[in-house]
């Protein structure tokens, strides 16, 4: 295994070196770095051109320029990167830091959401192959996949930002609209839940009646401007979760799982009151620490009370604890929302990753970042959703044809066990490769998404550098994306080997 990794690393370095040389030559020949000055009518045009030629070493031959860059960049190995300066005299390393963090923030969440949802949809459509749901989802994913990013961004801004903000100023939903929403949601939900005709009908009717009522009720509560939840709701929801998680995993009779789950739900309530004032003035560390505790404590409770079922008990308890903690955070977000609307009257913005000079509490900034991220994340997620769901679907279908699945079924295992234990795990193997590539590709920046939403990320660094025929930023971009591509490639291979014992070397 080590030999394999070292061999791969060695060839990766060779690839990076060759590609950097090629890219450097391409970039410095991509245009005329003096073009803006050539059309200038400044009196000292010649002087300015000479200054830029000297500054950018344009008179040196390509190999010297490349060598200068390479010696600077290779010092990254000893932690003293010198990636040069861009055409404006700014350190490229600083630009790169900002661009990379901005892109990661933009892309990370979208990728995770796309992967989770895409895989879930893929499994669902594979299990219900050739059903109405399958056809609908196939149609939608292909539609999303082929959306022009630019145009979709304009639509999102129009409806989810401008339209929503206008609506939020005075939220109204007419009775007719609520009923229509209920009917549509009912149709969709019955498709997802499936079952016999009778069950579908009941699902549809319940949803179609329930949703309009909720909508009107929330409007009466003025929920959209003053959302509220409170401890009672959290308790009800966590207890319900504890019950259903127990039922789904081992059944209600198994007290070794039920009790720790219920204890975790009770702990959530205790934690709600205990942390109330702390969370009112929270900071990022409090949230991270709290998240860790919400996993560790219920986990321990489950582990020690679970006896022979300690793994399952711990899993159920952690789920309950973590969701409860999440609900607590949402409760605080709800409390902060009216105040947030006062500092940012139109919450969903069309540009940027944060509101400049926003004055407010931690939660205001939290909500600000979230609302700014919303549109680009939705856009990136729905576009990459398609590939995940399609790959998962075909991979699942393929696995389901295998003999061992038939064996598992004939042993009398429940359909859920067959699908999740035996089929799904094996179907995930090829997905691991795709996820690794996808993430490496996304670090390169979603150029168009960045530009239409006014983010300055990796894509922007690349494009701006290229337009100015300025090699330093382009090479910095390459250094990160190239390395990421190579590393994730390697990672995919290693994960592949871990997941599939057959190909271990």
Partner 1 sequence: MRIQRVSKAVAVGAAMALALSACAPGGPGDSNPTATDSAGGGNGAEVTNSGLADLGDVTTKDDTIKLTVGAPEFISYNGFTPNTYSTYNSSIVDRMFAGFTYFGTDGTIYPNEDLGSFEKISDDPLTIKYTINENAKWSDGTPITTADAVLAWSVQNLNLNKGSKDKPLFSSVSTDLGDTVPKGPQGAADSKEFTVEFKEPDPDWQIQTWMLHPAHVVAEKGGLTTEEFVEAARAGDSKKLEKAAKFWNEGWMTKPGTLPDEADMPVSGPYKLDSWKAGESVTLTANEDYYGTPAATKNLTFRFVEDAAMVQALQNKDLDVINPQPTVDTLAQLQGLGDAVNIQQGDTLTWEHLDFNFAKGNAFTNLELRKAFAMCVPRQQIVDNLIKPLNPEAKVMNAREVFPFQENYQEIVDAAYDGRYDEVDIEGAKKILEEQDAVGTEVRIGYSKPNERRTNEVAAIKSSCDQAGFEVKDAGDPKFFAPGGTQDRGDYEVALFAWAGSGQISSGQNIYGTGKPQNYGKYSNEQVDAEWATLASSLDPAVHKEQTKKIEKLLWDDLYGIPLFAHPGLSASGSDINNVRHTATQDQIVWNAQQWVRAE
Q: Which of residues 438-497 bind partner 1 (CB under 8 A)?
A: 451-457, 460, 464
Nearer to partner 1, 203 or 389 (CB): 203
Interacting residues with partner 1 between 18 and 37 (CB under 8 A) = 31-32, 34-35
Rounded to whole angstroms, the Cα distance separating 95 from 290 reads 33
Nearer to partner 1, 19 or 358 (CB): 358
Nearer to partner 1, 348 or 442 (CB): 348
> Does the footprint of partner 1 cover residue 233 (CB under 8 A)?
yes
Whether the CB-CB separation of 455 and 353 falls below 8 Å is answered with: yes
Whether the CB-CB separation of 460 and 390 falls below 8 Å is answered with: no
Whether the CB-CB separation of 488 and 439 falls below 8 Å is answered with: yes
Nearer to partner 1, 346 or 409 (CB): 346
Nearer to partner 1, 88 or 401 (CB): 88
One of 232, 273, 501, 505 touching partner 1 (CB under 8 A): 232
Interacting residues with partner 1 between 330 and 349 (CB under 8 A) = 338, 345-346, 348-349
One of 13, 288, 351, 503 touching partner 1 (CB under 8 A): 351
Minimum separation from the CB atom of position 206 to partner 1 (A): 7
- Buried-state track 40-76, b at ≥16 Cβ within 10 A, e below 16: eeeeeeeeebeeeeeebebeeeeeebbeebbebbeee
Minimum separation from the CB atom of position 63 to partner 1 (A): 20
Interacting residues with partner 1 between 73 and 132 (CB under 8 A) = 87-91, 94-95, 98-99, 102
Residue 1 burial class via C-beta count within 10 angstroms: exposed 0-12, middle 13-18, buried 19 and up: exposed
Interacting residues with partner 1 between 35 and 54 (CB under 8 A) = 35, 38-48, 50-52, 54
What character string, x for contact with partner 1 (CB under 8 A) and - otherwise, covers 355-384? -xx---------------------------
Minimum separation from the CB atom of position 472 to partner 1 (A): 13
Minimum separation from the CB atom of position 27 to partner 1 (A): 16
- Helices first, then strands: H and E counts in the chain: 22, 0
Interacting residues with partner 1 between 235 and 294 (CB under 8 A) = 236-237, 239-240, 243-244, 247-248, 251-252
What tokens appear for 342 in the block?
Answer: 């006062």
Whether the CB-CB separation of 149 and 191 falls below 8 Å is answered with: no
One of 17, 135, 167, 217 touching partner 1 (CB under 8 A): 217
What tokens appear for 246 in the block?
Answer: 């127990």
Whether the CB-CB separation of 488 and 481 falls below 8 Å is answered with: no
Rounded to whole angstroms, the Cα distance separating 102 from 99 reads 5
One of 7, 225, 421, 504 touching partner 1 (CB under 8 A): 225
One of 220, 273, 411, 412 touching partner 1 (CB under 8 A): 220
DSSP, res 127? H
Interacting residues with partner 1 between 142 and 181 (CB under 8 A) = 150, 154, 157-158, 161-162, 165, 169-170
Residue 166 burial class via C-beta count within 10 angstroms: exposed 0-12, middle 13-18, buried 19 and up: exposed
Nearer to partner 1, 113 or 448 (CB): 448
Non-local CB neighbours of 500 within 8 Å, separated by 6+ positions: 429
Rounded to whole angstroms, the Cα distance separating 289 from 285 reads 6
Nearer to partner 1, 237 or 405 (CB): 237
Minimum separation from the CB atom of position 344 to partner 1 (A): 10
Count of alpha carbons within 13 angstroms of residue 225, beta-carbon side:
17
Rounded to whole angstroms, the Cα distance separating 384 from 376 reads 12
Q: Which stretch binds partner 1 (CB under 8 A): 350-358, 394-402, 482-490, 496-504?
A: 350-358
Residue whose pair of structure tokens reads 């290229």 in the numeric block:
466
Minimum separation from the CB atom of position 240 to partner 1 (A): 4
Residues in the chain, overall count = 505
Interacting residues with partner 1 between 191 and 210 (CB under 8 A) = 206
One of 294, 317, 350, 389 touching partner 1 (CB under 8 A): 350
User: Would you say the C-alpha torsion 67, 80, 457, 148 has a positive or negative sign?
Assistant: positive
Interacting residues with partner 1 between 295 and 334 (CB under 8 A) = none
> Helix, strand, or coil here: 91?
strand
Closest listed residue to residue 471, CA positions, set 44, 5, 64 = 64
For helices 284-305 and 310-343, give the axis angle rounded to 10 degrees: 160
Minimum separation from the CB atom of position 75 to partner 1 (A): 19
Nearer to partner 1, 46 or 500 (CB): 46
Q: How many residues bind partner 1 (CB under 8 A)?
A: 85
- DSSP state string for 393-438: HHHHHHHHTSHHHHHHHHTT--HHHIIIIIIIHHHHHHHHHHHHHH
Closest listed residue to residue 384, CA positions, set 152, 144, 154 = 144
One of 113, 136, 140, 214 touching partner 1 (CB under 8 A): 214
Nearer to partner 1, 1 or 213 (CB): 213
One of 111, 294, 328, 353 touching partner 1 (CB under 8 A): 353
Nearer to partner 1, 241 or 485 (CB): 241
One of 67, 159, 226, 304 touching partner 1 (CB under 8 A): 226
């Amino acid at each position: 295994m080590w030999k394999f990794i070292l061999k791969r690393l060695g060839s990766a370095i060779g690839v990076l070196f060759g590609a950097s040389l090629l890219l450097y030559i391409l970039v410095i020949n991509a245009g005329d770095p003096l073009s803006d000055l050539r059309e200038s009518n400044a009196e000292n045009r010649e002087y300015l051109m000479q200054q830029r030629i000297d500054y950018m070493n344009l008179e040196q031959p390509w190999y010297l320029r490349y060598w200068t860059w390479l010696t600077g960049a290779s010092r990254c190995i000893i932690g003293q990167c010198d990636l040069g300066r861009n055409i404006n005299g700014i350190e490229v390393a600083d630009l790169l830091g900002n661009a990379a963090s901005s892109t990661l923030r933009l892309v990370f969440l979208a990728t995770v959401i796309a992967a989770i949802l895409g895989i879930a949809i893929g499994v669902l459509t594979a299990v219900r192959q050739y059903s109405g749901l399958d056809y609908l989802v196939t149609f939608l994913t292909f539609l999303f996949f082929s959306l022009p990013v630019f145009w979709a961004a304009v639509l999102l801004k129009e409806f989810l930002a401008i339209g929503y903000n206008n609506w939020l100023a005075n939220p109204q939903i007419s009775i007719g609209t609520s009923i229509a929403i209920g009917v549509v949601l009912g149709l969709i939900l019955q498709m997802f839940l499936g079952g016999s005709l009778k069950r579908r009908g009941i699902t549809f009717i319940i949803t179609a009646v329930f949703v309009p009522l909720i909508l009107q009720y929330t409007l009466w509560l003025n929920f959209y401007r003053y959302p509220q939840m409170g401890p009672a709701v959290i308790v009800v929801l966590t207890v319900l979760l504890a019950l259903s998680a127990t039922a789904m995993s081992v059944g209600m009779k198994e007290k070794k799982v039920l009790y720790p789950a219920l204890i975790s739900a009770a702990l959530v309530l205790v934690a709600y009151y205990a942390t109330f004032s702390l969370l009112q003035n929270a900071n990022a560390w409090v949230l991270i620490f709290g998240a860790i505790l919400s996993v560790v404590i219920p986990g321990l409770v489950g582990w020690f009370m679970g006896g022979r079922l300690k793994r399952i008990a711990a899993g159920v308890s952690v789920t309950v604890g973590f969701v409860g903690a999440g609900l607590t955070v949402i409760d605080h977000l709800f409390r902060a929302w009216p105040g947030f609307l006062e500092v940012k009257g139109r919450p969903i913005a069309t540009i940027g990753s944060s509101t400049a000079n926003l004055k407010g509490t931690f939660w205001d900034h939290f909500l600000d970042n979230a609302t700014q991220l919303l549109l680009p994340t939705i856009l990136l997620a729905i576009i990459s959703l398609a590939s995940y769901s399609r790959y998962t679907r075909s991979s699942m279908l393929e696995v389901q044809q295998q003999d061992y699945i038939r064996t598992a079924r004939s042993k009398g295992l429940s359909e859920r066990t067959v699908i999740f234990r035996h089929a799904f795990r094996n179907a995930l193997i090829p997905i691991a490769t795709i996820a690794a590539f996808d993430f490496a590709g996304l670090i390169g920046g979603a150029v168009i998404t960045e530009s239409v939403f006014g983010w300055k990320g990796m894509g922007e660094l690349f494009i701006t550098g290229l337009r100015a025929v300025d090699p330093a930023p382009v090479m910095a971009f390459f250094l990160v994306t190239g390395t990421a591509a190579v590393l994730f490639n390697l990672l995919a291979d290693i994960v592949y080997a871990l997941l599939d014992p057959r190909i271990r070397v």
